Amino acid sequence: MQIEKRVDDVKAQVKAWRNEGLSVGLVPTMGYLHEGHKSLIDRAVQENDRVVVSIFVNPIQFGPTEDLASYPRDLKADALLCENAGAALVFAPEDGEMYAPDFSTFVDMSGVSDELCGKSRPIHFRGVCTVVNKLFNIVTPDRAYFGEKDAQQLAVIRRMVRDLNMNVTIVGCPIVRESDGLAKSSRNTYLSPEERKAALVLSQAIFAGKALVAAGETDGDRILDSMKAMISAEPLARIDYVEMVKWDTIEVHHKVDCPVLVAMAVFIGKTRLIDNFIWE
């Protein structure tokens, strides 16, 4: 497996693969890879001749008070996971390779990016769309793989690809959880043992909300209220949002009468975690 740091080297390799008639899959990540990322790579390896994994902690998607500086990094371990999973190339650029000092072009969006995380993290999706657009231009993948844990991000990327007529198929992959239910996340490493236990309240509320819907409850407020009550009972948890939205447009919605996303962001101590379920 190759590890490349330069855009031109990635482009040259992809061009060589294209000349051989090979298909290319892309798994964009910020590194510190876990089983969730591995499930994306596994799927990409099944569906493409060559798989590129990008590992880049994208500075422009972090707000000024967020965890850019402390975001966990371990390129050596990440490269090993990618190699074992069958990736052909890891693209791990430095910040300067992706953003020239006078970089000034951004991909902006409204609507799908406005609610949920877009409300709490106002510049986040502009940064995500911009870097993903750049990665698509560098790798020109046939397919790109994103986790449903970042469900709004998946909806945002799908909308960007549709609106800008981008020539890539977006593949969403299910959330991967720890055996006790906690959704896998690179940010779980921030949790103290006590916080790790408290963090279970997210998945417990998700499972409870989903069980209510499965039992026939369609009233969004009743579903959200019971989920919020569970979370509020955990002293270390502070709700950022617990919302129901239409799955395709991410508009706030209060009835299970169409495909919906029920999503939450909850602080456990200082760590902001997200989780969700999609009801189609």
d(CA 156, CA 93): 24
Q: With binding defined as CB under 6 A, does residue 148 bind ligand PAF?
A: no
Task: Single out the residue of 128, 154, 199, 245 in contact with ligand PAF (rule: CB under 6 A).
Answer: 128
**Does residue number 132 form part of the binding site for ligand PAF (CB under 6 A)?**
yes
Q: Do residues 161 and 129 touch, judged by C-beta distance below 8 A?
A: no
Give the interface segment with ligand PAF, choosing from 128-136, 167-175, 188-196, 234-242 (CB under 6 A).
128-136
In the complex with ligand PAF, the residue whose CB is nearer, 130 or 204, is 130
Q: Which is nearer to ligand PAF, 131 or 176 (CB)?
A: 131
Task: Considering the complex, state which of residue 85 and residue 223 has its C-beta at the smaller distance from ligand PAF.
Answer: 85
CB of 44 to ligand PAF, least distance (A): 14
Binding residue for ligand PAF, selected from 4, 24, 29, 152, defined by CB under 6 A:
29
Given the rule CB under 6 A, which of 12-20, 25-33, 63-71, 109-117 is the region that contacts ligand PAF?
25-33
Contact flags string 47-86 toward ligand PAF, x per CB under 6 A: -----------x--x-------------------------
DSSP string, the chain: -EEE--HHHHHHHHHHHHHTT--EEEEEE-SS--HHHHHHHHHHHHH-SEEEEEE---GGGS-TTSSTTT----HHHHHHHHHHHT-SEEE---HHHHS-TT--------STTTSTHHHHSTTHHHHHHHHHHHHHHHH--SEEEEEGGGHHHHHHHHHHHHHTT-S-EEEEE---B-TTSPBP-GGGGG--HHHHHHTHHHHHHHHHHHHHHHTT--BHHHHHHHHHHHHHTSTTEEEEEEEEEETTT--B--BSSS-EEEEEEEEETTEEEEEEEEE-
Instruction: State the minimum distance, in angstroms, from the CB of residue 64 to ligand PAF.
Output: 17
Query: Which among 37, 124, 253, 254 is annotated as catalytic?
Result: 37
28 lies in the binding site for ligand PAF (CB under 6 A): yes
Q: At closest approach, how far in Å is the CB of 86 from ligand PAF?
A: 20
Known catalytic residues are 37
Q: Point out which residues bind ligand PAF (CB under 6 A).
A: 28-30, 58, 61, 128, 131-132, 150, 153
